[in-house]
Amino acid sequence: METRTKSKGDDADPSPQSTGAWVDDAHECHRRKTQGGLADLECLADLECQTLLAEQARELAHRLRSPLGAIDLVCESLVMEQPDSEIAERMQVVLRASAKLKQALNETVGAAVPRWPTREPMDLTHACKRLADTDGLDWAHNAQASVRIAAAPPDCEMALWQALSLARLGSRDGQVRLGLVETGAETGAKTGTPAGAETAPIAELSLTPKHPLGALDQRLDGEMLNQGLAFLRLKRLRRFAAEQGGEVVIEPSRLLLRLRTVAPG
């Protein structure tokens, strides 16, 4: 049974009212998770609806900002060429309308994008085990100790659910094998940090369909063309990974989520 979850930030800051609402939602999610069962599923579904709405808002803003910028450029050029003409007056009306549209876009994105109450070291190993237990997944943990990342717990849990939903698109029966390993620290030559410097170890979470329908990367490429639910989920998952100093890698046989780890707090 597939479950759904929620997402994160953009360049526009939300109003204090919307920020407070997201904090309340996150606390409510934690409270409902302690109940388990249906309350847990409802919480994940509700949070994903909210965060996928945020991704849609970001996508809309991204598509409209470039055309609005072009309109502004043309209007400003005409105003400079004919400053005292009737055309200049009309262009000023267009510029004011464009400014209002930009403001509306920023407000829409700001109101839709969640802001988590905390981002602190959390136990990724425990979150993966909980996902495996809840959904009946094969689970393999090869790290010697618990793996921790710097993320708000509800944000991380949602990312795991969304990664699972994407991996299931390449499965015949929804069965996915979940694995977590922690690799050694990477050198500056690989990460762009100063020569000789080392970064934190990387957690590699793999989701592998047990009975694949075909190459997972090709199936997800097809889903991306539709720009539907899977498109928004993958965009949100990539955003989460980037915020953790990592990346999402889609291979023919599996989806790989690479995240920067942190030392236990």
Q: What is the pLDDT of residues 192-209, one digit of tens each?
A: 444 444 578 999 999 999
Q: Quickly state the pLDDT bin for 184 (edges 50, 70, 90).
A: confident
**Residue 215 token pair:** 């190459």
What sign for the dihedral angle of Cα 127, 240, 138, 202? negative
Give all strands of the β-sheet with 176-182 in edge-to-edge order. 138-141, 176-182, 202-209, 255-260, 247-250
**Residue 102 token pair:** 């930009």
The 10s digit of each residue's pLDDT in 68-96 is 999 999 999 999 998 888 988 999 999 99
Angle at 75 between CA 71 and CA 77, to 5 degrees: 120
Residue 56 has pLDDT above 90, yes or no: no
**What CATH class does 118-260 carry?**
alpha beta
- Supply the DSSP symbol for 35: T
> CA torsion angle for 191, 194, 196, 197 (degrees, to 10)?
-70
Res 180: pLDDT: 94
How much of the chain, in percent, has pLDDT values that exceed 70?
A: 76
Query: pTM here?
Result: 0.69
Res 38: pLDDT: 42
- The CA–CA distances, whole Å, from 111 to 9, 25, 45, 73, 115 equal 10, 14, 19, 28, 10
Torsional class of 150: left (φ above 0), alpha (ψ -120 to 50), beta (otherwise): beta
What sign for the dihedral angle of Cα 2, 8, 220, 257? negative
Secondary element (H or E) of residue 256: strand 255-260
Largest CA distance in the chain: 74
Res 35: pLDDT: 43
Domain ranges of the chain: 1-115, 118-260
Question: What is the C-alpha separation between 155 and 178, in angstroms, rounded?
Answer: 19
Mean per-residue pLDDT over the chain, rounded? 79
